[in-house]
Each structure stands twice: as structure tokens, then as C-alpha cells.
Amino acid sequence: MNHLKTGMLLAALTALFMGLGFAIGGRGGAMIALVVAAGMNFFAYWNADKIVLRMHNAREVDDRSAPEFVGLVRELATRAQLPMPRVYIVDDPHPNAFATGRNPANAAVAATSGLLSLLDRDEIAGVMAHELAHVKNRDTLIMTMVATIAGAISMLANFGLFFRSGDGRSSFVATIAAVIVAPFAAMIVQMTISRTREYGADRGGAEISGNPQALASALAKLAGGAARTRNRVSEQNPAAAQLYIVPPIAREMFSTHPDTGKRIAALQAMAGQFDPPPAFEMPAARRAASVPPTRTRPRTSALNPHRR
């Protein structure tokens, strides 16, 4: 049902783009709009992951630079029957995570240093399982397409303020109405698609990790931490808000995410539905050198290379 709903919303977004093109330039404008949308989606299909990772100054990590974090993602990817994604850390105190890539074979997952410092091991596993669920459901491609078309609608609407086809007052009124209504409608469709995909990723993450309670706990901590910490990327690029597991700015009506409280309640209702995962084992060399958790040394210190 979620896939059908998403497909219908994507079709509505494309129709909205073509309708705006028609309002501005008639039949020719609609065709040009369609060609532009196809070109932008083609570019985004091949380059969106590079753009997103560069935008966050994300650095790739491996078994040598972040062995426990990478090992955790590898274990989750195996449970999800997915290829191992590239793993990144974003040096940012804002606690959040995201996934990107056009398909599972070319996927990347990223977490901020703020998230790795804030959450314990089970909660980090729940978050990364959520991101892998996005990859498995092809949400990374869908949301890239949505953001691209929505951005194109805004661009075309701005163009429409300075150019319109036809003559007469009625044509002028119709064009102005279109350029005002279309971006707002695109934003509503974008939010609806994003919210639908988040619920699906929550359930998929709970199934992959086997621990919906840990993901629910992580969402509560992340929502509180995100509200207290600035996210400079989303402030400069509002379209980035849909990437994250929790909204980077506390908003209600125009949030790209469902209400966090409702997401937590849905996850808590899943308790006991999934088989618990086996213990996540750190590599033997790291296990021998690890320090047992104490009150003064957070459990996440080994997962975050920057913790001392």
C-alpha cells in the first residue's frame, strides 16, 4: 500500500510540474517542463549521493578507522540481506543520521559524531537499521526524485513570475495563481511522501535490528538533541531536512517527518514481534583492548573515534 501511495504521489507531483509549465507556456511549456524534469532526475540519479555527502563534508570510514561502527553496520546489512554500504561519519554535534544512493549496490549511510556520542550501542544499531531499511525500500532514490521535482517546481514558479503565455487578465491571474499554488502543493506532496516512507523505515529498522524499543529510545533522544543543536546544512539547504531520521528543526505543521511521539508509540507497539538479534561482536583485537563501560566512560566511546 505504501508503494502504491508513493507512486500516486510521484505521479501527482509530475503532473503538477507539467501543469505549471502549461500555465506559463501553454502546451509547449508543458512539454519543456517534462523534458526538464526528466533531465534533472537523470542527473540526480547518478550524482545525488555525491552531492549529499559533499554537502555534509562527510568522511568515509572503514574497519581501520572506525572498526566497531563499521562492524555494526556490516552485521545489520547481513541481517537485512543487503550489500555492505559505504559508511561515513559527519563531524557535527547535531545528532542525526541519513542514507543516500541510487540503489542498494551504491548506497551510503552516515551518522554524525553527535549521534554516536549521544546513543548507546543498541540505539545506534536501531538507527542504522532504520537507514538500511530506507536503502532496502529504495527510499533514497524516491526521495531524491521528489526533492528534484519539488525544487524544479519552485524554480519554474519563480520563472513564471516574469514570463507568461497568452494575453488578457484571465491568463495573468491564472499564471499568478499557478506560480503561488504550485510550490505550496509540491511541498505538501513532498511532506506526505516523506512521512509515509519514515513509518515504513521505522518498521523495517525494527525488523532488521530486532529491537524496536531501542529505536524508539533513540528517536526520543535524537529529537531532544536535534532541538537543542543547530543543523547548519538544513539551514542553508532546507531540502536536506527530509534526509534525516529526525527533523533537524522542531516544526509541526510543515515538518517533513511524522510526529516523533507517534513514531515512538508505533515502535513500542511492535515489542516482541521480531526475533532478537545475536549479540553484536566487536573484532577480537578491539575486544581485547576495550575498556568496560563505567559511569565516567560512555558505552559509545568505542563507536565514536572522537570520544576520549
207 catalytic, yes or no?
Answer: no
Rounded Cα gap, residues 27 and 14, in angstroms: 15
Asked if 190 and 254 touch (Cβ cutoff 8 Å), the reply is: no
CB atoms within 10 A of CB 67: 18
Flag whether 281 is marked binding. Answer: no
- DSSP class of residue 87? E
State how far the alpha carbon of 203 is from the alpha carbons of 7, 108, 141, 263, in Å. 20, 20, 19, 10
Flag whether 198 is marked binding. Answer: yes
Between CA 19 and CA 30, with CA 25 as vertex, the angle to 5 degrees is 40
Find where cell 510550490 sits. Answer: 183
Beta strands in 103-230 (DSSP E): 108-112
Residues paired with 98 in a beta bridge:
110, 244
Tell me which amino acid residue 28 is.
G
Catalytic one of 123, 131, 207, 252: 131
In 3D, which of 151, 47, 67, 149 has the Cα closest to residue 108? 47
| Cα torsion through 189, 193, 199, 205, rounded to 10 | -150
**Residue 118: burial class (beta carbons within 10 Å; 0-12, 13-18, 19+):** buried
Q: Cell for 55?
A: 554537502
Cβ contacts of residue 245 below 8 Å, gap of 6+? 96, 97, 98, 127, 130, 131, 219, 222
Flag whether 257 is marked binding. Answer: no
Mark the binding-site residues for Zn(2+), compressed into ranges. Answer: 130, 134, 198
- Residue ranges of the binding site: 130, 134, 198
Active-site annotation, residues: 131
